[in-house]
Amino acid sequence: MQRIASGSIAVGILVLAMKAAAWWMTGSAALYSDALESVVNVVASLMALAALMYAARPADDNHPYGHEKVEFFSAAIEGALIIVAALSILQHAWVSWRDPVVLDAPWVALGLTMVSTLFNGGWAAVLMRTGRLERSSALLADAKHLYSDVVTSVGILIGIGLVLLTGLRWLDPLLAAATAVHVLWSGLTVIRSSVAGLMDEAPDSATMERIRRLVNQHAAGAIEAHDLRTRHAGRLTYLEFHLVVPGEIRVDEAHAICDRVEGALKAEVEGLIVTIHVEPEGKAKHRGVLVL
Ligand code: ZN
Ligand code: ZN
């Protein structure tokens, strides 16, 4: 994972250098937006790597639940940076709207943008393949994000081609503004996911249904499970619930049921940490996951 993250940083810096050069040669607002999107990518992958390394630290006296939640901080900061980038692009687009730059024969700049877009596309394919192999949703999300950048860049290339063909100079700031909206949207998405994590948002109903089914299948000997709750921290999911068992069974029997349920859940749901509170039948609520 850390090697992939370092690869993303290296590709990001290379692409950024080419896109910055393309903007610097032309002064085009659209190419500025493309370059700034690259800045965001490099900062995001740097922070993702730092968060990955910090989150991997084992739990200690100071952080007995581990360090996974650091990912929500890095996501929040990333989201804020993306929004700043979007605002800067909008401002640049506005200036260029009022006083459009002349793009005369920007062939080197367009060539650089084309080559850097190919690099991005190639790396997105690598991320996609590794993400599928490793079943990492984070890598797949990165790959999708990079593909959407490729689409933006291709749109910008086509747009600048149109500017050159038609001489409509206002197309350039318009393209930049469209990119800004795209960047703003991705920033809000990142912030939303970070807030969801910090607020312990419930998992999607399909995951919850899967957990209920597993408890139901593997808790033979128990009467009921209720008050199921989950929360996330990075790649970890915490699950807790009450398990109602016949009051007269022995502690070691009840514990064996718990271990069986825990084992089945952990085998199915990646990064799951389970806590079960055992209760006698007087505590049954007759709702939740009924075992019998
Ligand atoms: Zn209870
Ligand atoms: Zn135990």
Quick one: pLDDT band at residue 282, thresholds 50, 70, 90?
confident
Q: To the nearest whole percent, how much of the chain has pLDDT over 90? A: 39
Distance between CA atoms of 132 and 150, rounded to whole angstroms? 20
Ligand with smallest separation from the Cα of 288: 1
Size (the chain), residues: 292
User: CA 6, CA 130: separation in Å to the nearest integer?
Assistant: 14
User: What rounded mean pLDDT belongs to the chain?
Assistant: 88
The mean pLDDT of 90-99, rounded to a whole number, is: 90
Q: Which ligand is nearest to the CA of 252?
A: 2
User: For residues 51 and 73, what is the distance between their CA atoms, to the nearest angstrom?
Assistant: 9
pLDDT for 94 = 93
The two domains 2-198 and 205-290 share their CATH topology (first three levels equal): no
* Predicted pLDDT at 256: 96
Q: What is the percentage of the chain residues whose pLDDT exceeds 70?
A: 97
Q: Please report, for the chain, the start and end positions of each structural domain, with discontinuous segments joined by +.
A: 2-198, 205-290
Q: Which residue has the higher pLDDT, 155 or 287?
A: 155
Query: Which residues fall inside 5 Å of ion ligand 1, going by CB?
Result: 242, 283
pLDDT in tens, 114-147: 999 999 999 999 988 988 887 776 777 778 888 8
Distance between alpha carbon 91 and the CA centroid of its chain, in Å? 27
Check residue 240 and give its pLDDT: 95
Across 216-235, average pLDDT: 89
| First-residue to last-residue Cα distance in the chain | 43
Contact 194, 226 (CB under 8 A): no
Ligand nearest to the CA of 275: 2
User: What radius of gyration, in Å, describes the C-alpha atoms of the chain?
Assistant: 25
- How far is ligand 2, taken at its centre, from the CA of residue 219, in Å? 15
How much distance in Å is there from the Cα of 49 to the middle of ligand 1?
41
Whether the pLDDT of residue 292 is over 60: the answer is: no
Q: From the CA of 267, how far away is ligand 1's center (Å)? A: 25
**Residues with Cβ < 8 Å from 99, sequence gap 6 or more?**
none
Please give the average per-residue pLDDT across 248-260, as a whole number. 96
pLDDT at position 79 is: 86
- Structure token digits, residue 36: 């700034």
pTM for the model = 0.75
Q: 25: buried, middle or exposed (CB in 10 Å: 19+, 13-18, 0-12)?
A: middle
Ligand 1 centre distance from Cα of residue 222 (Å) = 13
CA 236 – ligand 1 centroid, Å: 24
Q: What is the pLDDT of residues 173-215, one digit of tens each?
A: 998 899 899 889 888 888 888 888 888 888 888 888 899 999 9
Q: How far is the CA of 223 from the centre of ligand 1 (A)?
A: 12
Domain spanning 205-290: CATH 3.40.50.10320: no
- pLDDT reported for residue 61: 94
Superfamily of domain 2-198 in CATH is Cation efflux protein transmembrane domain (1.20.1510.10)
Nearest Cα neighbor of 229 from 276, 270, 197 is 276
Question: What is the mean pLDDT of the segment spanning 46-55?
Answer: 85
The Å distance, Cα 252 to ligand 2 centre, comes to 9
Q: Which ligand is nearest to the CA of 244?
A: 1
147-176 pLDDT, tens digit per residue, is: 888 988 998 888 888 888 888 888 889 988
